[in-house]
Amino acid sequence: MTTDIIKYDFKPGLLQECEIVDLAKLYAESSDIITITHRAKFYHIIWFQNGNHLHLVDFNPITITPNTLLFINKDTVQRFDSNSNFQGKAILFTDQFFCKTESDIKYLKESILFNNLFTVTQIEIQNQLKIFTDLFQQIADELHNEKDNLQSDILQNLLQNLMLHSERERKKQNFYEIKKSTDLDYVLLFKDILETNYTNQKQVNFYAKQIIITEKRLNQATSKVLGKTPKQIIDDRIILESKRILAHTNISIKEVGYNLGFDEPTNFIKYFKKHSNLTPIEFREKITSA
């Protein structure tokens, strides 16, 4: 283990911060990197074309079958299967590439593909293979063209078309859709603000003020959309990050607590046990011996 979860930036030197990689080639060149737990500061759309795969996202194993698309948000902690007996492709891209306007930013933040509030999005595309094959190929072809002042927009349009077709398929496949509403808007804003503030802001009042609503109104929104109070959501996020650090690094319990905004190690230990029924040491021992 290390003193931090390994983080990867987008590959430098490319003409665009968007690329398609072949999974077989990726395994041949970088299996030692992708088969250990890591974060990437960019988005993944992974098409597993054949073979079976077990993809680990945080502590959740996701069973992948042939012709499945998997959507991984940026900064997600993940690990590819050590079994490389499958084929596929992955589109990788950054915020900087995709988000040219405010509406682009809003689309990514609200997308059911990358921000499914309940689970990681996977879509079976067996019945729409031609559409997705054509879109992947068009993106690949454009990436091989000589760069000009139109290429970035063309690639972004193709990528958005791919995502729109993916949303359409997702909605056909046992998807519980949360209807657009003010409640959902508040929840998405809350989750976005929480992601950048959870280590130093643990009070519901802070988030309500940022959204410019009352604590009561925020509670109504999260309870209706997610069935949880804002405090439960804050606690869930802190505990998730605690577990990530405990499982994938060897830094001390004291340091873990300080990194997550706890002034005293005993406060962190009590907090962690309250929400996970294990002490941090017990959790670390359990996960590393599994």
Q: What is the pLDDT of residues 32-52, one digit of tens each?
A: 889 999 999 999 999 999 988
User: Is the pLDDT assigned to residue 30 strictly greater than 90?
Assistant: no
For 217-261, how does the pLDDT look when each residue is reduced to its tens digit (9 = 90+)? 999 999 999 999 999 999 999 999 999 999 999 999 999 999 999
Confidence of residue 162 (pLDDT cuts 50, 70, 90): very high
What average pLDDT is seen over the chain? 92
The phi and psi torsions of 236 (rounded to 5 degrees) equal: -60, -40
Average pLDDT over residues 63-85: 91
Of 44 and 116, which is predicted with more confidence?
Answer: 44
pTM (two decimals):
0.89
- The answer to whether 55 and 78 have CB atoms below 8 angstroms apart is yes
Residue with tokens 């959507």: 71
Q: Cβ(165)–Cβ(128) under 8 Å?
A: yes
Residue length of the chain:
290
Share of the chain above pLDDT 70, in %: 98
> Does residue 176 register a pLDDT over 80?
no
- 83 — pLDDT class (breaks 50, 70, 90): confident
Residue 136 has pLDDT above 80, yes or no: yes
Q: CB–CB of 211/168 below 8 Å?
A: no
Q: With cut-offs at 50, 70 and 90, classify the pLDDT of residue 177.
A: confident
**Residues in CB range of 109: below 8 A, 6 or more apart:** 115, 188, 192
pLDDT band with cut points at 50, 70 and 90 for residue 288: confident
pLDDT of residue 141 exceeding 80: yes
pLDDT confidence band for 18 (50 / 70 / 90): very high
* Main-chain dihedrals φ then ψ at residue 74, nearest 5 degrees: -60, 150
Which residue blocks in the chain are alpha helix, DSSP H?
A: 23-34, 95-98, 102-110, 129-144, 151-172, 182-197, 204-211, 215-226, 230-248, 253-259, 265-276, 280-289
How confident is the model at residue 175, as a pLDDT? 78
Q: Which residue has the higher pLDDT, 182 or 30?
A: 182
Looking at residue 272, what is its pLDDT?
A: 97
Q: What are phi and psi of 38, to 5 degrees?
A: -155, 165
Phi then psi for residue 103, to 5 deg, are -70, -30
Q: Return the pLDDT at 1.
A: 55
Q: What band does 3 get if pLDDT is binned at 50, 70 and 90?
A: low
Question: Which residue is associated with the tokens 């995709």?
Answer: 98
The values of phi and psi at residue 33, to 5°, are -90, -50
Q: Give mean pLDDT, residues 85-104.
A: 93
In this predicted structure, the answer to whether residue 290 has a pLDDT above a threshold of 70 is no
86: confidence class by pLDDT, cuts 50, 70, 90: confident
Sorted by where each starts, the structural domains of the chain and their CATH numbers stand as 6-172 (2.60.120.280), 182-289 (1.10.10.60)
Do 186 and 193 meet the contact criterion of CB atoms below 8 Å apart? no
Which pLDDT score, from 0 to 100, does residue 112 have? 87
